[in-house]
Amino acid sequence: MRLNYLFLNKMQRVFFVLILVGTLIASTSASAEGGILDPTFGTNGIVVTDLGGPSDTGVNVVLQPDGKIVMAASGSTPSLVRYNADGTLDSTFGINGKATAAVSGAVALQTDGKLIAGGGIPGGVGLARYNSNGTLDTTFGTNGVVSVWETNDSNFQYSFGDLAIQPDGKIVVISIQEAIGGNHVNCVIARFHGNGELEEDSRSFFDESNFPESERNFCRAVALQSDGKIILSGHAEPNFSGMAIILGRLTSGSTYPFDPTFGTNGHGTVVTPIASFRHGRGALALQTDGKIVIAGMTYIDSSNVSENLVLARYNSDGTLDTSLGGSGIVITDLGQNEVGNDLAVQNDGKIIVAGKRYNETASDFLLVRYNSDGSLDTSFGDAGKVISDLGGSDAALGMDLQPDGKILATGTKDGDAVVARYGGTPPPMINTTFRSKAPHDGWILESSEFSNVGGTLNKTATTFNVGDDPRDKQYRSILSFNTASLPDNAIVTSAQIKIKRQGVVGTDPFATHGSLLLEIRNGLFSNSLDLDLSDFVAPASSSVQETFAPLTSSWYAANLSSSNLVFVNKAGVTQFRLRFDLDDNDDLDADYMKFFAGDATDEATQPQLIVSYILPQ
């Protein structure tokens, strides 16, 4: 549908950094327009607004010429919310930036700065107009509200589709009429004058006579051509089976006759079968060359549980544009379930689809950018996609493009309305290397097999051990890095531990003891900076264990996952514990690996912690 602080406690802050790190890792190779969350907007590119209900959702967003951002939000209290260009609430709008809305399914901006909102009302579909300060405009309709469709009998129900404002100020509204208990679903359209009066004879119904062989037609979006003609899009169920894209072009006359030059069926409509196609919230946009772009989703399996993105483009005459993907239709599988809810076309012809990626347990914001030929734009995010985990059940429902190319996306995060802005310039990456400090590192040997308690230790040896001794007692080792020189505002994007093998005693434990594991501690495992017996079993900061892999020249490395990056200590020491997955192999023989420790005389062989980070701008 194309219509023209966080206050965090300590654990929430840790979780939010996890969110941001995940996004940065997915986007570090992207350009300024490549899907980076904009750190100048809100909190690291994200603004979450609690409107007081359990299911607040930003459904549509529109950008004002002065850079302010208006979001239409649905929920138990439908609202319009206006933000300043930096993401702060605009106190000149409504009450502290929020205005309770009579309807809130979409919002569009008039040339005089007033806002038109459309959506459901009790028993039907309505419009409301708001002054630029968020108050209802009482010169519009009745006290600022008009009814588009009302159910006067028990045979039909109406739901809102979309709206658009013509250059002359008239308002075009499309809706869906559904027969209660029947099979018929019709597209309906109405047009209103700027004062809220219904234009005479402008209400029209479109059914199977307009969309041949389809008795269930769901119109979801509307767009206006430069010549005043009106484009409708939606999905249909032809012959009660399968699904299809539907398009129609209407002339601008008051009775809305279809344009017979559009499509090939003589009705001015197009029906394109696509298995299980859904148009979502109505992703429709017109290119400057008159081509029509729509997006949605399709189920790709017979059980209707796996969804993929659908992108389609039509020539201005309604025929499929085969320069997009070879057929005019592109289906994109990103490995899970993907839904397209809105789209926009950039000035360079690239197409951005906003929606969500989800599985059985999680749902995330999704942006996908296509080149004009339908191929994924690999310069955008991670090979053409940006997935933003905002920390809960997240979805993008609406989007808009700023003149500077930045992307606004609105949606929901765990029951709160959210706006995100993408397109920030990625800060420069800074890399630094730390070395394990003697005598704070070394090995600890278990007191006896199965005791799981440290018995002896060595903090001055030039090597540390992992494996087991002749009595099958386990070796564990501690590495200790002073990471306090990291800036307080550093956002760690990656970290790697490197250790160099000195030798092996007995059987190579990599062959008998499983993986060499790494655990992280933000601070000290025990209360002592020096190596201590209690370090053998003291709790780590995270339950996630990393695994070492061989490199070259006897080096091994373990990379920290995003969930562990937040435990790199910027105020002191970061410690790591190393152990094999299997305590011992019950052969009553020594089987352990020796690695160079922080006491090694050659600094080049000492354990390394390589940290990459950025500083927010």
pLDDT digits (tens, 9 = 90+) for 319-361: 999 999 999 999 999 888 899 999 999 989 999 999 999 888 8
Encoding tokens for residue 343? 């789209």
**Do both 192 and 241 map to the same domain?**
yes
Q: What is the pLDDT of residue 2?
A: 42
Query: How many structural domains compose the chain?
Result: 3
- Note whether residue 72 is domain-resident: no
- Note whether residue 69 is domain-resident: no
- Note whether residue 80 is domain-resident: no
**Do both 292 and 334 map to the same domain?**
yes
**Do both 154 and 106 map to the same domain?**
yes
**Do both 500 and 476 map to the same domain?**
yes
- Note whether residue 305 is domain-resident: yes
Mean pLDDT of all residues in 104-128? 90
| Domain final position from 238, 273, 308 | 273
Residue 19 has pLDDT above 60, yes or no: no
**Do both 261 and 281 map to the same domain?**
no
- Note whether residue 75 is domain-resident: no
pTM of the model: 0.67
Give the Cα separation of 245 and 238 in Å (integer): 10
- Note whether residue 293 is domain-resident: yes
**Do both 389 and 361 map to the same domain?**
yes
**Do both 416 and 435 map to the same domain?**
no
**Do both 387 and 325 map to the same domain?**
yes
CB atoms within 10 A of CB 263: 21
**Do both 111 and 223 map to the same domain?**
yes
- Domain of residue 121: give its range: 101-273
- Note whether residue 82 is domain-resident: no
**Do both 465 and 506 map to the same domain?**
yes
- Please give the share of the chain, as a percent, with pLDDT higher than 90: 61
- Note whether residue 95 is domain-resident: no
Using only the alpha carbons of the chain, give its radius of gyration.
Answer: 30
List the CATH number of the domain containing 461: 2.60.120.1200
Give the Cα separation of 42 and 44 in Å (integer): 6
Helix (H) or strand (E) holding 387: strand 385-388
Q: What is the pLDDT of residue 424?
A: 62
Q: What is the pLDDT of residue 233?
A: 93
Residue 143 has pLDDT above 90, yes or no: yes
| Domain final position from 249, 273, 297 | 273
| Domain final position from 394, 422, 450 | 422
Question: In this predicted model, which residue has the larger pLDDT, 266 or 167?
Answer: 167
Q: Please give the C-alpha separations between residue 444 and each of 39, 335, 477, in angstroms, as whole numbers.
A: 44, 44, 6
Residue 218 has pLDDT above 80, yes or no: yes
Confidence of residue 177 (pLDDT cuts 50, 70, 90): confident
Residue 513 has pLDDT above 70, yes or no: yes
Q: What is the pLDDT of residue 360?
A: 82
Question: In this predicted model, which residue has the larger pLDDT, 199 or 63?
Answer: 63
Q: What is the pLDDT of residue 616?
A: 67
**Do both 437 and 547 map to the same domain?**
yes
Give DSSP secondary structure letters for 50-66. --SSTT-EEEEEEE-TT
- Please give the share of the chain, as a percent, with pLDDT higher than 70: 90
Please give the DSSP secondary-structure letter assigned to residue 196. Answer: S
Q: Of 454, 438, 476, which is closest to residue 599 (Cα–Cα)? A: 438
**Do both 121 and 256 map to the same domain?**
yes
**pLDDT tens digits, 398-413:** 999 998 889 999 999 8
Give the Cα separation of 218 and 183 in Å (integer): 12
